[in-house]
Amino acid sequence: MPSPVLIVGAGPSGLVLALTLLRNNVSSRTLEVYKFLGILPNILDASGPTPQIEQWVTGGKEPVRKMEKPVIENTAARPYNHPVMLGQNRHEDILRTTLENEYGCKVELGTEFISFEQHPDHVVVHMEKTIDARKVPETATFSFLIGADGARSQIRKQLGLSFLGETITSGGMLVGDLDIKGLDSRKDLQLGDTHGAMVLVEAIKDVTGRTDLQFGELTYANHWRPNIRMVNKFGSGRVFVTGGKRIRVSQMLKVSTASDAAHCHSPTGAQGMNSGVQDSFNLGWKLSLVYKGLSPTSLLDTYSEERLPVIATMLQKTTELYHSGFLVHTTFNPNTDAKAIWARGHELMQLGVNYRGSSLVVDQKPEHALTEENSDPYREDDNERVRFFDIFVPSAHTVVIFAGAASITSALDAILKSVAAYPKGPVQTVFIYPKSVSASQYSEAGAHSDYVLMDREGHAYRNYVASETDMTMVVVRPDGYVGAVLLQPEGLKAYFKKIFA
């Protein structure tokens, strides 16, 4: 029997996919999503706030403008509203440590992917190990192959996926890793005119006019230009690609790719790693259900269907930000509103993303009921005593039943019987009722639910636009997105018919 999954590439996208699969008991060789995966405290402990940006011009003694990202207060519906920053190396270290300590899963270093052959029920992968400076060939069989192997992804190329886009030749930056004493590490400096090169290494003294800076070791330097591209689809057969990076795009099934194998883009908007992690989270729960035989392989087709529109929209927005922020102005304008520079829509905060156009989604609500502003599929709480966010898990669909004062007992029984027909592990139920009614009214229904909650402050009913009079059901997927909004019990069958075999 072939091994379950081979993930080629151990960046954040590949590591998150491995962790998602292991949370679903599928082994692999290799700020909200991390809450689902149980590593959010580690991420927050290692993170820091977004630094202040100072803009300098040649010969200047003081910055011409200082910009700080506006503080966005957390709410009950959005408890992690304010972004934090953490280097990718620390991200990877936390993910690798979690994989090894909790699951005994080690990233296999010193092994190079060479090629693969895809078959109807497995993938044969050829690799090359380096042992004592010798190259040792290895061939192994897997149920699925995932490509998380970067912008030059060999898996994407062997799958024959297009990687369409452009390289912007105007502008760009000289990027370097240089030890400098005399600068405030809590600030980001933009040196020079944004219409020309943004110099960060040898010409820093010339640009700033400062002679007090002490330069240490230069670890890395390169001329960077944005390479904005994405794949034409995210997978084929048993091979998939997933993940994005600032400036790169890809995906597929039975053979898959993550990291920036799927998409590349400019650093504006800070979408690269965030979108790549969401790619992996979308693919992970579907892959685990198919591997276990609980879902048809057609479920994997929705990976490309759902993520391609999201990535295409994101690339358009980040490219617009790059052109407006890096290339438009020939001189700094200190009067430009810093809030306008920092302006980001809900999509670039990853809070406005949804899959409403997906063939998986079932929506019985009026079209205007759920909007980006008043509903968030996985960031609600119940008086902060028990939060939905603590109940949702990456290994199960959560059926949230909002009872109404006029809810008919027979309808509630029909819902619970319908849920009971599906596998217990991959489906869990939350029964919630408003403060205005007595719990005894729903004692029978509550006895057959995994969780029974009273919405003391009305957060859940308000943010899910649920009626306190009539019954409403919301199905939250393992990746935290709303899969269905239902008013009738038969809607559950219509939704899960698309999920389970």
Give the single-character DSSP code of 270: S
What would the pLDDT profile of 451-464 be if each residue is shown by its tens digit? 988 888 888 998 89
Judgement on whether residues 246 and 145 belong to the same structural domain of the protein = yes
Q: Predicted confidence band at 200 (pLDDT cuts at 50, 70, 90)?
A: very low
Q: Predicted confidence band at 215 (pLDDT cuts at 50, 70, 90)?
A: confident
| Range from 147-156, 179-188, 282-291, 372-381 carrying the lowest mean pLDDT | 372-381
Q: Over the chain, what is the mean pLDDT?
A: 76
- Predicted confidence at residue 411, as pLDDT, reads 76
Half-sphere exposure of 105 (CA within 13 A, CB side): 26
Judgement on whether residues 250 and 386 belong to the same structural domain of the protein = no
351 falls within a domain: no
- Give the CATH number for residue 405: 3.40.30.10
Name the nearest CA neighbour of 382 among 471, 456, 466.
456
What would the pLDDT profile of 78-87 be if each residue is shown by its tens digit? 777 777 778 7
Q: Is the predicted pLDDT of residue 180 greater than 80, yes or no?
A: no
Judgement on whether residues 389 and 474 belong to the same structural domain of the protein = yes
Judgement on whether residues 367 and 277 belong to the same structural domain of the protein = no
Name the domain boundary from 307, 337, 353.
Answer: 307
320 falls within a domain: no
Output the six-digit token pair for 430.
């939350």
Range of 485's domain?
Answer: 362-499
232 falls within a domain: yes
Q: Is the predicted pLDDT of residue 435 greater than 70, yes or no?
A: yes
Judgement on whether residues 26 and 146 belong to the same structural domain of the protein = yes
Q: At what angle do helices 409-420 and 490-499 cross, to 10 degrees?
A: 10
- Predicted confidence at residue 194, as pLDDT, reads 43
Output the six-digit token pair for 135.
């190259």
41 falls within a domain: yes
Q: Is the predicted pLDDT of residue 304 greater than 50, yes or no?
A: yes
Judgement on whether residues 137 and 21 belong to the same structural domain of the protein = yes
Domain tally, the chain: 2
- Predicted confidence at residue 193, as pLDDT, reads 47
Q: Which run of H or of E encompasses 413?
A: helix 409-420
Q: Is the predicted pLDDT of residue 496 greater than 60, yes or no?
A: yes
- Predicted confidence at residue 381, as pLDDT, reads 39
Judgement on whether residues 379 and 291 belong to the same structural domain of the protein = no
| Backbone torsions φ then ψ of 473, nearest 5 degrees | -125, 140
262 falls within a domain: yes
Name the domain boundary from 307, 322, 352.
Answer: 307
Q: Which long-range contacts (CB under 8 A, 24 or more apart) does 130-136 make?
A: none
The Cα–Cα gap between 380 and 316 comes to: 30
The Cα–Cα gap between 426 and 190 comes to: 49
In the numeric block, the tokens 């269907």 are attached to 305
Q: Is the predicted pLDDT of residue 423 greater than 90, yes or no?
A: no
Q: Predicted confidence band at 89 (pLDDT cuts at 50, 70, 90)?
A: confident
Judgement on whether residues 301 and 402 belong to the same structural domain of the protein = no
What would the pLDDT profile of 317-347 be if each residue is shown by its tens digit? 666 666 555 544 444 555 555 555 555 555 5
- Predicted confidence at residue 390, as pLDDT, reads 87
40 falls within a domain: yes
DSSP-derived secondary structure for 24-87: TT--EE---HHHHHT-HHHHHHH-EEPPEEEEE-TT-SS-SEEE-PPP----SS-TT-S-EE--
For residue 283, the SS3 value is helix
314 falls within a domain: no
Judgement on whether residues 110 and 20 belong to the same structural domain of the protein = yes
Buried residues in 12-36 as b, exposed as e (16+ CB within 10 A)? bbbbbbbbbbbbbebebbbbbbbbb
- Predicted confidence at residue 490, as pLDDT, reads 87
Name the domain boundary from 266, 287, 307.
Answer: 307
Judgement on whether residues 136 and 277 belong to the same structural domain of the protein = yes
Q: Is 442 exposed, middle or buried (0-12, 13-18, 19+ CB in 10 A)?
A: buried
Judgement on whether residues 287 and 384 belong to the same structural domain of the protein = no
Buried residues in 208-220 as b, exposed as e (16+ CB within 10 A)? beeeeeeeeeeee
- Give the CATH number for residue 26: 3.50.50.60
Q: Is the predicted pLDDT of residue 314 greater than 50, yes or no?
A: yes
Q: Are 60 and 208 in contact (CB under 8 A)?
A: yes
Judgement on whether residues 40 and 151 belong to the same structural domain of the protein = yes
272 falls within a domain: yes
Which range among 57-61, 82-86, 128-132, 165-169 has the greatest average pLDDT?
Answer: 128-132
| pLDDT higher at 32 or 87 | 87
